[in-house]
Amino acid sequence: MLRIMSCVIYEHDPVFLVLAVVTLLFGSAVTVRLFARVRRTDKAIRRLWLTLAGLIGGGTIWSTHFVAMLAYESDLILGFEPVLTVISLFLVVATTTLGFYVASTSRHSYRIELGGLILGLGIGLMHYTGMRAIYLSGIYEWDTTFVVFSIIFGGAFGMLATNRIGRPNTRYSHYGAAGAFCLAVGLMHFTGMSGFTLTPLDIELEVTRLVSDEILGAGVLIVMALLFLTTFITSMLDLKNAAESSEHYKHLALHDPLTGIANRLGCDQYLEKALSETADSVANVAVLSIDLDRYKTVNDVHGHAAGDHLLRTLSQRITDILDNGEMFGRFGGDEFTAMKSDVFTEREALDFGRKILDTIREPVLWKETSFEICASVGFSLFPRDGIKPFELMEKADLAMDRAKMQGGNCIIGYDEKMDTAVKERHVLAMDLTNAIEKGELEVYYQLQNDANSREISGVEALLRWHHPERGMVPPDIFIPIAEETDFINILGKWVLHQACKEACEWPRAISVAVNIAAKQTCDPEFPAMVHETLLKTGLSPARLELEITESGIISDTAQTLHIIRQLKNLGVRIAMDDYGTGYSSLSTLQNFPFDKIKIDREFVKGIHTSRHSSAIVRSTVILANSLDIPVLAEGVETEDQLTFLSEQGCQLVQGFLFGKPMPNADLKAILAARQDRDFVADDPVLQRQVVRRVS
Ligand code: C2E
Ligand code: MG
Ligand code: MG
């Protein structure tokens, strides 16, 4: 160690020595950073950083060596042989690059250190090749111990350098790596030089072909300057690219890839900014929640490409009509949001919502089809309805839910009562789960009659809930709740079982129609459940009819069709309920093997007042008759309606004209009376009297 110290202090010129140290410190710092980059980038750009790390690392080792050799005070050095000098530079650049390459090919294995070893051995190779390039007027000798130690130091500290970058355990690890790199170069050099002894000899040498100290010094400076300049330029370009790609990623993170408008995160940020800007003014900020009505149907019936086209077109159209202080974003699916700053009255928020709704309503063309879609819009106002972004969004959603419940295609502002309604819904959902065990549910039956003979042809099972506190809760309220909570499967199974069991006890073997929810028709276990129920209750499959709505069919057409076929194989009939309210009624009729079509009561209600309704009824009957499918009209309340329907060719009717839904006991009484007094069937007045008596 002493020998090394004395070699450094007494045998070297301090000025050049300082220059060598500065070169080494600066070069090592840049080298380890470049190597760290190699490990953190991928593919093409990785090769660039690897080349730079090899060039700068190798260049640093080489320059340090030759500057230190210039510092070496000996009159016996005649000069440097140019070819070997240059070869030593290429050698060290090659080994350093190889070392860094090997160390960068693994995240955890020994290759990290193996690369460092190659780097360290490369320093030794360069050193001793470089020494061969020196022409001396004397003979020299190497002390093997120092040579071996110099190589060991180079290898060991080389390994430590790559280890600190490859397996960092503190944030300062790269300083450790740079330190180890310096030690690898420094110790290698000075340990080697300590074992170097030179004995002067008076020999004649051809010195003209040698490179002088000055030229070598200038060469070293030029090499280093070029290398650092290259690194500097590359780093600048990289910084610019990084800034550009960070902008690009920022844009991606804040925008929806399908429509190009702001996504949830983008909307959140916008709202936060809008709220903070309005904090010290008297203006409101309107937050709108927008949900397209029947978007799912477009997707299901016309495919996802059509759905995407619709979303893109609407987003573009709405973005085009936005004024200053207004924004429009997409949360996902068919959920959108819009915001407007500087709103002073509720009217302005309503107008903004209406502007968006009107744009949504404009037809969108797709191939040969034109979609006319509408939306449910809810809005909340800052600070009236809340001061936090999530509160405002939640309340706008609540208002939107209310708009949806009211049939959609409208705008509703948030109102405190909505919170209570939501809570009530939750309570009702909880109560419903216990309703079966508590015996609060009952199946009612409504007669279905022949439109001409008025004879009872069957009944529809309609569920009733006798709530202990609220009294009778209508199915329109609790069936959607059950559908939301998935309780519908249990409820549906119960109704089916109850209806089949009770039907077996009726004095006349009429058929019973049971309503099936959309979720049930998607359940692959459903046909097996129906089969089991028929076996358990003993009802003949020919007496069971299942009523399916269009929404229950189109969510997964292929799967539902498969389930319907399985049900038909059991001998059960399938009726299409609420015909005319769906989106693609015609195509559904063509594709599904229905045994009955039930025209929705809304159309029956309007047969004498609305040309549209009567046209739908008329065309449905014609279509169904041509397909040989019987038609049942729902909601028949008057004799005029009955006459119209029977004239049009509608075979079956159901409605208050023949009786309201009634408990099982009343139905049994009617059926028994019918059996006893068949003549009632021919007399509508008498028939209604019987119905009234029992209901
Ligand atoms: P739906 O299947 O269309 O049932 C017919 C509805 O029309 C019944 O309402 C019935 O009471 C009503 N109705 C019948 N005749 C007339 C009439 O002349 N005038 C008027 N204004 N209405 C009439 P309800 O019982 O309130 O049932 C409503 C809906 O709830 C049903 O519509 C059905 O979709 C659903 N629902 C009822 N029970 C069940 C069930 O067990 N399972 C499922 N999934 N849904 C059910
Ligand atoms: Mg029905
Ligand atoms: Mg119906």
Same domain, 181 and 60: yes
550 lines ligand 1 (CB under 6 A): no
The ligand with the least distance to the CA atom of 579 is 3
Is residue 573 within 8 Å of 544, Cβ to Cβ? yes
505: domain CATH number?
3.20.20.450
Residue 565, in any domain of the structure: yes
Same domain, 138 and 205: yes
The ligand with the least distance to the CA atom of 655 is 1
The residues placing their C-beta within 5 Å of ligand 2, an ion, are 515, 547, 577
β partners of residue 564: none
In this prediction, residue 204 carries a pLDDT of 58
CA distances from 80 to 21, 77, 394, 441 (A): 21, 8, 80, 105
Residue 257, in any domain of the structure: no
70 lines ligand 1 (CB under 6 A): no
Same domain, 180 and 273: no
Same domain, 238 and 340: no
The residues placing their C-beta within 5 Å of ligand 3, an ion, are 577-578, 634
Backbone angles phi, psi at 450, to 5 degrees: -70, 135
Residue 532, in any domain of the structure: yes
578 lines ligand 1 (CB under 6 A): yes
What tokens does 359 get?
């744009």
Same domain, 207 and 335: no
Residue 395, in any domain of the structure: yes
Domain boundary among 212, 244, 276: 244
Residue 675, in any domain of the structure: no
445, 515, 604: residue to mutate for ligand 1 pocket, most atoms within 8 A of CB: 515
Residue nearest to atom 2 of ligand 1 (CA): 515
479 lines ligand 1 (CB under 6 A): yes
Same domain, 219 and 269: no
Residue 319, in any domain of the structure: yes
Same domain, 564 and 651: yes
End-to-end CA distance of the chain: 113
659 lines ligand 1 (CB under 6 A): no
What tokens does 335 get?
């959920």
600 lines ligand 1 (CB under 6 A): no
432, 441, 445, 462: residue to mutate for ligand 1 pocket, most atoms within 8 A of CB: 462
Same domain, 346 and 376: yes
In this prediction, residue 694 carries a pLDDT of 43
Atom of ligand 1 nearest to the CA of 600: 3
Integer Cα distance of 37 and 237 in angstroms: 14
DSSP 3-state assignment of 388? Answer: coil
Same domain, 454 and 398: no
Residue in the block written with tokens 């706008």 = 396
Is residue 563 within 8 Å of 527, Cβ to Cβ? yes
CA of 681 to the centre of ligand 2 (A): 24
Is residue 633 within 8 Å of 653, Cβ to Cβ? yes
Same domain, 493 and 540: yes
What tokens does 671 get?
């059926």
DSSP 3-state assignment of 7? Answer: helix
CA of 434 to the centre of ligand 2 (A): 24
Q: Number of C-alpha atoms within 13 angstroms, CB side, residue 446?
A: 18
Same domain, 395 and 456: no
Is residue 165 within 8 Å of 36, Cβ to Cβ? yes
Residue nearest to atom 10 of ligand 1 (CA): 661
634 labelled catalytic: yes
Atom of ligand 1 nearest to the CA of 479: 45
Residue 430, in any domain of the structure: no
Residue 152, classified by CB atoms within 10 Å of its CB into exposed (0-12), middle (13-18) or buried (19+), is middle
> What is the pTM (predicted TM-score) of this model?
0.56
CA of 606 to the centre of ligand 1 (A): 18
Tell me which residue range forms the domain holding 299: 264-415
Same domain, 276 and 207: no
Listed in sequence order, the residues at least 6 apart from 155 whose beta carbon sits closer than 8 Å to its beta carbon are: 116, 117, 120, 121, 124, 184
Listed in sequence order, the residues at least 6 apart from 506 whose beta carbon sits closer than 8 Å to its beta carbon are: 667, 668, 671
What tokens does 258 get?
């399908």
592 lines ligand 1 (CB under 6 A): no
Tell me which of 469, 483, 634, 647 is the catalytic residue. 634
In this prediction, residue 247 carries a pLDDT of 81
Integer Cα distance of 390 and 377 in angstroms: 17
Tell me the pairing of strands 511-516 and 77-80.
unpaired
494 lines ligand 1 (CB under 6 A): no
In this prediction, residue 685 carries a pLDDT of 44
CA of 504 to the centre of ligand 3 (A): 24
112-150 burial, b for 16+ CB within 10 Å, e for fewer?
bbbbbbbbbbbbbbbbbbbbebbbbbbeeeebeebbebb
In this prediction, residue 487 carries a pLDDT of 92
287: domain CATH number?
3.30.70.270
Segments in the chain below pLDDT 50: 679-687, 689-695
Residue 232, in any domain of the structure: yes
Integer Cα distance of 406 and 395 in angstroms: 17
Residue 390, classified by CB atoms within 10 Å of its CB into exposed (0-12), middle (13-18) or buried (19+), is exposed
Residue nearest to atom 8 of ligand 1 (CA): 462
In the chain, the number of structural domains is: 3
- DSSP labels, 553-599: HHTTHHHHHHHHHHHHHHT-EEEEEEETSSS-HHHHHHHS--SEEEE
In this prediction, residue 686 carries a pLDDT of 42
Chain segment 342-382, per-residue pLDDT in tens: 999 999 999 999 999 999 999 999 888 888 899 999 999 99
